[in-house]
Structure 1
Amino acid sequence: MDKAKVVAEELKSTKVEERKKFIIKGVVDPRTNDHVAFKYAVSEGIINHRKGLYVNPSTNESLPIQRAMLEGKILVEYISVCRSLPETTAVPLITIKRRVDHKYIIVGALDPVTAEKLNLQEAIRRNIIDIQTGEYINESKGGIRINEEDAVEDGWIMAQFDETAPQFEIESFSVVGVLDHKFGMFVSFMQAVRRGLVDGESGDYISNLTGKKVYAVDAIRRGLIKAVKCSKEIKED
């Protein structure tokens, strides 16, 4: 039986921040229009660091350094400086766990009404196990039929497994959107939980038009929940 759970995991990514800075390559001497070195311009009083001015020592006319740069009186070269910033984001994941093929022999079943443990022959005689389909028939719930694998998983059908430990397939999906039927649009997982479109514990989808609940795995298959598979692994129980 597919069993789903929703967890919020922190996924680490790297954000690149780009900044621009400039290097002064030279300064125009306003007295001669020659290009001179920055240090020379400072020593001659052409660049006034304290006041942030470009100055003509002959006339005492001045400009803010930024304007002098724009007018080409201070020659600069712009360079980009990048640095990586670690970024952590909480991402909703739906994890689905299902038993993979595992050899077993059916030895009996539980009576759904009395909870009595029955051997296989008696379970068949009482029409609790359908010998043709292998399904378990739960009369306590109106004769609902449960397929053999799910009934074994849930303990309704008793089975004797081989000696190897049972294995489970575990798949994780990162949720990127959930369909809002009423408005015909996809919303984020957190919005979907707030709107009652998703059960925050089980990950099951709930239509806000019909109220019908769809198991998480089926909702992903049908495109009601948009999700990207993150991982898949096989583990022993």
Structure 2
Amino acid sequence: MAIIPNCAATRHIHFTLNGSGPAELIPPSLDDWPQLDYDPTVGARRVNLDGISRDEIASWQPGDRLLLSGKLLTGRDAAHQRIVTMLNRGEPLPPGVDLTNRFIYYVGPVDPVRDEVVGPAGPTTATRMDKFTEQMLSETGLIGMVGKAERGPAAIEAIQRHGAVYLMAIGGAAYLVAKAIKSSRLIAFEDLGMEAIREFEVVDMPVTVAVDSRGESVHKTGPRKWQERIGIIPVVAA
């Protein structure tokens, strides 16, 4: 028997039930992992989301590391579908959902416990929002998106056409991302639960430029650079 939670990565837990009682799963010791010193500020550029402009984002390039601070809206599949439906009907968006010169984070945060502002708040896969990207950029004034994984050709073309950007947050590190979120308030679509639109106040949230305003994608430039490096590294057969 296996429990397999899937979200890009697959993790397996194998155990056998023989009728003698519950399976006892011994957690691995934290001593099995190396001690790492992580400082996201090294080599990163600080960005004030509350004063961001198209001129500023036009200077970013694929692979640039940024630290976001300021107000960041959230929204993923269900919220995007509802926004697009309202736009198609000619209806105004709810109060507070003004996306002009704003960034949206593709996330559905877990409910907070104890003194947490939010629970784990890692990015969801951005590809699922590709079908909404052209309309979101052309009709709402949105200039930036934050998620994980690559974007498809149609989304990249829309990003280039409208001079927007797509940033990648750290996938698989939802708790660490949440530590950059200092406040959270509900903005719209409360009935969507974790997929409701919220406004986060973030401080030094680490992201990487994945698609710049010219449509250059790090998922293309990155492999190309590594191919160039590998080509000059001597390979010695064992």
Assess same fold via TM > 0.5: no
TM range (shorter): under 0.3
Structure number, greater radius of gyration:
1
Structure with greater contact order relative to length (CA < 8 Å, sep ≥ 6): 2
The alignment's TM-score, normalised by the length of structure 2, stands at 0.19
The alignment's TM-score, normalised by the length of structure 1, stands at 0.19
Q: Which structure dedicates a bigger proportion of its chain to helix?
A: 2
